[in-house]
Structure 1
Amino acid sequence: MIPPKTKHLIKEVLVIQHFEITVPIQLPKNLIIIEVNEYQELKKSMKLGVWWSMEDVLKRICISRKTFTEKILSNQQFQKELESFVHFPKSRGEKYYFLASKTTEFLETRFKEIMKTM
């Protein structure tokens, strides 16, 4: 314990020390380290050439088939753009098909406009 008379003589000193340490880390053979932008490009390329069904799209956007069909697929505001990457059924029993990469891009870039229709 510090005597009361000497307390005023002691000043608190804050010392910050920095250390640089190199530590080797051995990754398991089934893992690699890549840059974030390279990882994002790989994820994006995984959708190239992939077709989604209506069910695939609905799982990703969490809205009903009816709402998606009425508010997005049948919306004149989006129709022309959608025709470039969506196969619309021409007869009863035919299915919708979506290019995964373009559908993802559309949903990402037009999000605010889509939400205004809901």
Structure 2
Amino acid sequence: MQQLTVQLSIPIPAGSVLISRVELEELKKQELSGVYWSMKDLEQRINRKSEWIKENILYPSRFRKTLDVEQGGFVFYPKSKGQTWSFQAVKMAEFLDRHFAQIFK
């Protein structure tokens, strides 16, 4: 069998850095770590209005028992008028990725 050895140089632009996928995922998590989303932030992330989010993600019992901070989750459900929704960004993003098919069916 014949074999060809080639040396190749690929320039990386000055404003770019080459990193592994694992490092990229860690950087994304760090970026969102300690960050909390409002309902408006969540609307922008998934491109849906708050009414849809509530009906399809936040209020169905199959998700609420995982999400609700009162049950060990990462979503603060307002208890009275004037209180706002609050979502731990990293955990909510992971939840949305993990349950994408269930949510958007």
TM-score w.r.t. structure 2 length? 0.81
The residue identity in structure 2 corresponding to 1:65 is S
The residue identity in structure 2 corresponding to 1:53 is S
Higher helix residue share: 2
Q: How much is the aligned-residue C-alpha RMSD, in angstroms?
A: 2.2
The residue identity in structure 2 corresponding to 1:69 is K
Q: Shift of residue 65 of structure 1?
A: 1.1
Task: Give the secondary structure class of the aligned counterpart of 2:32.
Answer: coil
Q: Shift of residue 60 of structure 1?
A: 0.9
Paired residue for 1:77?
62
Count of equivalent residues: 100
Paired residue for 2:24?
39
- The yes-or-no answer on 1:110 pairing with 2:95 is no
- The yes-or-no answer on 1:52 pairing with 2:37 is yes
Q: Shift of residue 72 of structure 1?
A: 1.3
Q: Shift of residue 55 of structure 1?
A: 0.4
Q: Indicate the percent of aligned positions where both proteins have the same amino acid.
A: 36
Instruction: List gaps (5 residues or longer) in structure 1.
Output: 1-16
Q: What does the per-residue CA deviation read over 1:3-57, in whole Å, with 9 as the maximum and x for residues that have no partner?
A: xxxxxxxxxxxxxx946234485763x5432222211211122111110000001
Q: Which stretch has the larger CA shift, 31-40 or 80-89?
A: 31-40
